[in-house]
Amino acid sequence: MKHLLVVAHGSRRAASNDEVRTLCQQLKQLDNPFVEISCAFLELAEPSIPEGLQALIANGATEIVVMPYFLSAGRHVTADIPAEIEPVKQQSPQVKISIAPYLGAAEQIGEILMEQALQAIL
């Protein structure tokens, strides 16, 4: 029972948070091994990371991958997200919770960025 929790920063701007929610819905269309895919926010939006994790656990998750939807390995990725996860790990030690590499670590980011840049001159 693998579940995926996409974690974004969260914004005061509702439309930005909705972009993340829409992305999570789109992920479900891709071939993937996850029983459920949902999102959570580090701050400024709901659900929080602990709330998101607890909802998946209540839904039967035995393994959860937390995917940081961040571009750089700043404090949020290296410290804040692990700190939000830790109490849930202690409360539910039977659930395996792992953190995937953050989005910006993906090798393909450069190519996508170049494609987006070319759209401005075509």
Which residues of the chain form contacts with a second copy (CB under 8 A)? 2, 4, 6, 8, 11-13, 15-16, 19-20, 23, 26-27, 30, 32-34, 63, 65-67, 69-75, 98-106, 108-121
Assign 33 to helix, strand or coil: coil
Closer to a second copy by CB, 43 or 63: give it.
63
CB of residue 90 to a second copy, shortest distance in Å: 20
Spatial neighbors of 105 by CB under 8 A, at least 6 apart, are 73
State the minimum distance, in angstroms, from the CB of residue 13 to a second copy.
5
User: Please, what is the minimum distance in Å from the beta carbon of residue 54 to a second copy?
Assistant: 19
Cβ neighbour number for residue 17 with a 10 Å cutoff? 19
> Based on CB atoms, which residue is closest to a second copy, 27 or 55?
27
Q: Of 108, 62, 53, which Cα lies nearest the Cα of 83?
A: 53
The whole-angstrom separation of Cα 54 and Cα 64 is 10
Residue 51: CB minimum distance to a second copy, A: 20
In the numeric block, the tokens 């393909």 are attached to 108
Q: Decide whether 55 or 100 has the Cβ nearer to a second copy.
A: 100
Q: What's the residue count for the chain?
A: 122
